[in-house]
Amino acid sequence: MSSNPQEPAKVHAASAAPQGAAIIHAIKQAGVEFVLAVPDIVTSAGLLFPIAADRSLKLVRVCKEDEAVAISAALSMCGKRALLLIQHTGLLDSINAVRAVAMEYSMPVVMMVGLLEKEAGVPPRQSRRYGVRIVEPILEAMGMNHRLIESEADVSFIQPAIEEAYIQSKPVTLLIGQRPKP
């Protein structure tokens, strides 16, 4: 693996992308009732479309990601669990709302963030895509817990991460590194 963040790591074989159904199951197991979404090409086929058809989840389509941050925080104040389904560009666009609402007020805002054009098997920090490369360092600078979900094995981290966010009243970001399979 290269230590130069400008050069992608060499990977022998990328792990199989996670199944959307497994991710949705983990979300439900964590007690999520509401999914707040801005369409994201990374997660649309495997997650957004199946969620839209799932009657046990309430899909709320929002215009901007920062609206979803505020709505998620408000739902948590009512004892409801929500998940934001957005793209990393939307996360970067809404960083001030995340800072103000989720971080400063310690709100359990759970974000599932698609890493658009991230190379399979390449750590985000070593992506050729600048926007992908800076996501983890920004989350770390903010002190926000995050986890990369890139393979079927990583799906096991989703439910505990969501549970911890709500128990500790802290935000968490689940980074989707590969398009989930429908």
Number of domains in the chain: 1
pTM of the shown model: 0.90
**CATH number (domain holding residue 104):** 3.40.50.970
Measuring CA to CA, which residue among 17, 56, 63 is closest to residue 38?
Answer: 63
Q: 26 near 73, Cβ under 8 Å?
A: no
Strands (E), 135-176: 145-149, 172-176
Encode pLDDT of 70-107 as tens digits.
999 999 999 999 999 999 999 999 999 999 999 999 99
Residue for token digits 């793209």?
A: 87
Indicate the residue type of 19.
Q
Domain ranges, residue 148: 20-176
Q: 181 near 18, Cβ under 8 Å?
A: yes
Residue 68 lies in a domain: yes
Residue 10 lies in a domain: no
Residue 111 lies in a domain: yes
Which has more pLDDT, 30 or 178?
30
Encode pLDDT of 46-64 as tens digits.
999 999 999 999 999 999 9
Residue 143 lies in a domain: yes
3-state secondary structure of 148: strand
Question: Given a cut of 60, is residue 6 above it in pLDDT?
Answer: no
Residue 5 lies in a domain: no
Q: 98 near 70, Cβ under 8 Å?
A: no
Residue 125 lies in a domain: yes
Looking at residue 13, its pLDDT comes to 45
Residue 182 lies in a domain: no
Residue 8 lies in a domain: no
Question: Given a cut of 80, is residue 1 above it in pLDDT?
Answer: no
